[in-house]
Chain A
Amino acid sequence: MFRFLHSADLHLGKPFGAMPDELRGRLREARHTVLDRLAAQARAAGAETILLAGDVFDTETPSPAVQRQALAAMAGHDGLRWILLPGNHDSLAAEALWAGLATSRPGNVILATEPAPFPLADDVVLLPAPCTTRRPGRDLTEWMDMAATSPGTVRIGLAHGPVQSFSEDGGASDVIAPDRATRAGLDYLALGDWHGQMRIGPRTWYSGAPEPDRFKHDAAGRALLITIPAAGAAPAIEPVETGSFDWRTLALDCLAGEEPGAHLAALLPIGPARRQTLLRILATGRTRPPARARLEADLKAIAPEFALLQLEAQELVTECESEDLDQIDRAGALRQAAETLLAESRDEGRSSSEREVAREALMRLFSYCAAAA
């Protein structure tokens, strides 16, 4: 039996430049401390080996602080073995990085920089496929088919890159064959690159990022605990939680005449979890100006409780009816201006941006008149 923790895409040193300053520091810190959380999960499960399938570092030139502190954190977990594979973000093209790691690595950190069998235990061999450049342009796992091992040896593949269309960057020429595990007789193929956890086959998984860094995948940070009973036997695969921040997208489908904020409250996390939550509310459907204004006010009120709270309402159509216009004025020039803007916002002959501007101008007029009242 061989047990190990499979993770990838730590992206240490990711800057999060678009985030508010205070949150940036916390997000970067969470990326660093995920090493400790991985170690804790490994220890808890009795695994001694942690395979990191690429993109440990966010760039080819992480700052010395990021490198050294990461190595120090790994060294601090005595009795655990960290195996680092070059990914597309930190490929072998980053010679300085890998040369630096080679000289300063502690004893329990192993760099899988050669596509050659590496013994993990007496009857366990690791077949790594390090990324040679940012875009190798070929399937780097191909060599595994030919790699000979003595019979009865557990063969574990380690690779980084897209499988068919599952790509973070979107190309298709250099994909990893999804059936590589079968072709190369692997007991397990540990993949990195896709930040969401995903099963490709019974023996092939993307572990996902242990600490999420974007809204795309809408899931908590996780790693995989793999147990291989023996060569050829089906591996046991168990997801484990490792994330610190929760990146969530909340779809809010509004109906005209409904209060959009009404069922929002039920969907929001409660209590201190909010501090660790980056929430994106994706509003769609239709609403009326007062309801829209209330929704915005509600969100503004609770926003400080969250690490981040964004309302994306480009898809939310705010419609005006004549009774809405009555709130501006029943008649007269003010009403006339409102009607003009309303007509403009509905005029199919105009560009969508013009219509949008007219609609927003009308919303603004609402708010002015509401404030005056």
Chain B
Amino acid sequence: MVTIVKDVICHRELLAMLVARNIKIRYKESVLGFLWTLLGPLLLIGIYALFLGIMRFSISMPLLVTGIFVWQYLAMTLGDSTNAIVGNANLIQKAAFPRVLLPLSIVLANLVNLLLSLIIVGIYLVFTNVSFGMPLWLCVAIVSQMALCIGLSLLLSAANVFFRDVQHVIGVLMMAWFFVTPVIYSPVMVLQTFSDPRLHQLFYLNPMTGLLALYRNALMGEAMPQANLWIPSLAVSWLMLAAGVVVFQKLQRSFADEL
């Protein structure tokens, strides 16, 4: 863990360049370029708003907007991560540098997108007259979501070197994860439908559920769930980070052999 942090600090300049490279490459030769960072989620929001409306499923727009933007950070990061090591096979085989920089640069490039989106979300929320909650929770939420993204990104990028199946299965798993996370519905609905507290606990073991609660409290003043629900949820994010670091450290020695 300490060596990884040291490596990253020593190579911060390389990390910054890799982040810049990821951002540049994603939107190369597209007319709207960087605008797609916002347009993608906006179109998604439009589609969900339309269909949920047709199906007479009530959802508040601010809830949907925050949900989609926050979810997009996770989804985009993990989608890119499977390729972080495999897609840089040339670099891995030819140059010795901390491999952790590759998945990390993907998390950070997507973080830039999230921060820009949050500004737009913030402006939108001001116009909808929602009340903002604790700003501290926003920071905690962003940092914890980064921890979750780094952890999963390390796991996925390393696993994909050994089993290319990862890149195929990830899309389906993300879809399933999306539906068990209160992105397009309110968590209150779930808590009301099911009375068993063990089910509530299970629902909140999903780290994204806890993170969304923090985001929505900070951005739109939604009431926080009970502490025994959101604290374990947050802990899962950090556990993922620890697991990612441990697994990646163990596997990275044989990357060059396997690629």
Asked if A and B bind, the verdict is no
**Which A residues contact B (CB, under 8 angstroms)?**
none
